[in-house]
Amino acid sequence: MSRKYFGTDGVRGPYGSATMNEDFAWRLGAAAARFVKAQPGFKSSQVFIGRDTRASGPALEKALVGGLQSEGLLPVSLGVVPTPVVSLMTRSAGAALGVVITASHNPASDNGIKFFGPAGIKLTDEDESRVEALLPAVAGHASTSVSLLAAPLARYLELTTAILPARSLAGWKIVLDTAHGAACVSSRTVLESLGASLVLVGHEPDGLNINAGVGSQHPELMAEKVKDTGARLGIAHDGDADRCILCDELGEVLDGDEILTMLALHAVKQGRLAAHTLVITVQSNLGVDAAVSAVGARVCRSQVGDRYVIERMLAEGASLGGESSGHVICSDISPTGDGLVAAIKVIEVMLATGRPLSELRRVLTKFPQLSAALTVKEKKPLESLRTLSAVIKGVEDDMGAAGRVLVRYSGTEPKLRLLVEGPTAIIVQSAMDKLVAAVRAELEVIKA
């Protein structure tokens, strides 16, 4: 079933646009409520709503609440909380729905709305198509009031703090970058309660500075602080804290592929890698497959998007999966990406081995890789781009099993994403140059 409004991670766009404004939020809330009430065995009317720190969040929340209430549901606001908190509260309470108002790693001018089902797992493509089909034509009135949950972080803080022994981070200096986003309180509270001394970055949200030069998309400041302060590692989240990017004690940044490979190999040694399987996406480096296969485990790949990762994990019986972007899913703790949990699980490996992050990361040797994101005026069907298709086939034929090409449109932005992996950096660069030239010949590229 095709979707008009939903992308890889909910509905997202510039605030004030046709699909990200108060009227649309009201209609989307009403449609989601209609969808929920049509489910077999519908019982609970409760809906938990969380948001990040964007200035547009409260207005969108008020409108969304109005739409939900118009269909008889009972929204409960969690206020500003990380995305995994909404997932946790939804499944813990057996709520009908969880909603997060966030544009994740996007700039403050954007916002978005994404949904979780009663199990704390994001809605499927089919579910989202059904929600779209139930959109009312006209919006009603925004809510005048909404229930507020007292101490919305309490259960999450208890869960995440319990992953490590009490005070196990005493004497650790850690740089924490919360992107002026939803984790400013939660990640700081957990790490400090475990005894860590924190150097804070991106911890003063003002509604307009979320992800602005900080966070998982901009780890440079975090890395600089690690080197300047002699910290043991750096941790960076995105705006809604479902991502984690790390920095070792030398100031070198680690992505999701390195985090997942470390966690997978440690789990194999401990005999704890469920189904002996790691789930990653088509975006992840081929080096992950090589490293995991070398210890007798296997890798399965899904399409890009952490909800597709969890769907594959459920199908395979796996408990560990994620994306190179920093979404890491430890499903024995949370069925969605959780930046804090990912960081704590890596610290757990550091404590168990007594080795610094700069050594642990060596378990992954990446294949030469280049990626590009070209902003395009129109997302023409890829199969209609004959020149690009011919170039892709030529590159794939040349590299054979020693490399790969991935070309896809972003599910949340007007971008065409290109990825090339191959046996040498020279071959990869040549292939990327050919792909970019082919794209420019057939699409109007606004910027690279």
Which are the contacts of 315, defined by CB distance < 8 A and separation ≥ 6? none
Phi, psi at residue 321, to the nearest 5°?
A: -165, 175
Measure the CA–CA gap between 184 and 151, rounded to whole angstroms: 15
Neighbouring-strand partners of residue 82 = none
Phi, psi at residue 198, to the nearest 5°?
A: -105, 140
Measure the CA–CA gap between 212 and 196, rounded to whole angstroms: 26
Q: For the CA atoms of 389, 391, 394, 397, what is the dihedral angle to 10 degrees? A: -60
Catalytic (active site) residue 104? yes
Active-site position among 56, 70, 104, 324: 104
Three-state DSSP at 438 gives helix
Three-state DSSP at 119 gives coil
Please report the DSSP string for 278-328 in residue order.
EEEETTS-HHHHHHHHHTT-EEEEE-SSHHHHHHHHHHHT-SEEE-TTS-E
DSSP, res 411: S
What positions carry a catalytic annotation?
A: 104
